[in-house]
Amino acid sequence: MPRTVKVCGLCGKEYKSFFDYQVFNIDFCPDCYGYVMHFCKTPEDVQRRTIDEMKALYKQKTCDLCGEKVSRFRRKYVQDGVICKDCEHFLRSFYNNNAEKCAAVISNALILALSAALETPLDGCGADDPMERATIAELRAIYEMIP
């Protein structure tokens, strides 16, 4: 099987690959693919963000709300920043409950499994956690409003 030359839809670099690194029917190089899978929920997210912004978010070590240091396992990525699990728990009642969040995770996992089994991308399907769509400014306003 020959390697084909493709152009990354995020960084614009040409790359050769045996595999399809595709999300939303857009090709990505292996370097950008992981960040896109982690941070982008819609094709608009790919157009709105740069690879440098995604790398900076991934490397961020402090919560944008409380300023505490956050380990990789205790962080929540939101629209334009990072919050710690304590702040997420504190603000969760303003978004959705854990049952809905759990259902969203299960729904998205099923969509990805079906997509892989059918070898057909199922874009536009699945559930989304509304807190991930919130901006830091919106979260900060709620955070400061609560005594």
Q: pLDDT tens across 44-90, in order?
A: 888 888 889 888 888 899 999 999 998 888 888 888 889 999 998 88
Reported as a single tens digit per residue, the pLDDT across 13-54 is 898 887 778 888 888 888 888 888 888 877 888 888 888 988
If phi > 0 it is left, if psi is from -120 to 50 it is alpha, else beta; for residue 126 that is left
Reported as a single tens digit per residue, the pLDDT across 98-128 is 555 666 667 667 767 766 666 655 554 445 6
pLDDT top residue among 108 and 139: 139
pLDDT, residue 94, reads 80
pLDDT, residue 83, reads 92
DSSP category for residue 145: H
pLDDT, residue 126, reads 47
- The overall pTM is greater than 0.75: no
In angstroms, the CA 19 to CA 30 distance is: 9
